[in-house]
Structures are given as C-alpha cells and as structure tokens.
Amino acid sequence: MTQMIALSSSLLLSEQFATPAARPAEEVAADCVTGLNEMGFLSFTMPDREIQDLDRVVACKADEQGAAYYRIIRVQENTPPTGWHVQAIIYAQTLIA
C-alpha cells in the first residue's frame, strides 16, 4: 500500500509541472489578422457529405502545419457537384513586431 501511495503522489507532482497541451488551431476573422505571422495557404477538396464538418477539417489541417490560427477565404462547390473546394490562410502564434 505504501508503494501505491508513493507512486500516486509522484504522479500528481509530475502532472502539476507538465506543460499544457497545445491548443488546436482557431478560426480568426479577417479584421483580427493584423500582426499575425502568415505561414501559408491551405487548398483542398472535401466530399459533399463532410461539408458540415468544414471548420473541424480546416482546423485539423492547420494543426498539421503547426498553425495557431486559420481564416477560410473561399468555399466553392465543384462542378459537377462532387464536393467542395476550400481555401484558407494559416497563421503562426507569434505576432509580427
């Protein structure tokens, strides 16, 4: 029993000093990007059935690139209707000085 208590107290101590998990990328409005460091551009096609998950999909793709923020700039239905073409700008966490 003593070993179990020692183990759990060391686990509690290590959790207190652990670094917080990285935040997922967040959508940002066009009027709020001044000063953010633009990292790049996302451009991809997503199926019709996933359009309701647009924000989640863009956030995941921005996370994969290490971005803190994203701004969707275009969502266009493909012709013939076989999905949606999505474009977004991604931004780093750091502000431009």
pLDDT digits (tens, 9 = 90+) for 9-49: 343 333 333 333 457 899 999 999 988 999 999 999 988 87
* Selection from 16-20, 53-57, 71-75 with the highest mean pLDDT: 71-75
Fold entry, domain 23-95: Dodecin subunit-like (3.30.1660)
- How many C-beta atoms lie closer than 10 Å to residue 88's C-beta? 25
Amino acid at 30: A
Beta strands, E only, the chain = 26-27, 36-46, 69-77, 84-95
CA separation for the pair 63, 79 (Å, rounded): 29
Query: Does the pTM exceed 0.75?
Result: no
Helix (H) or strand (E) holding 58: helix 54-64
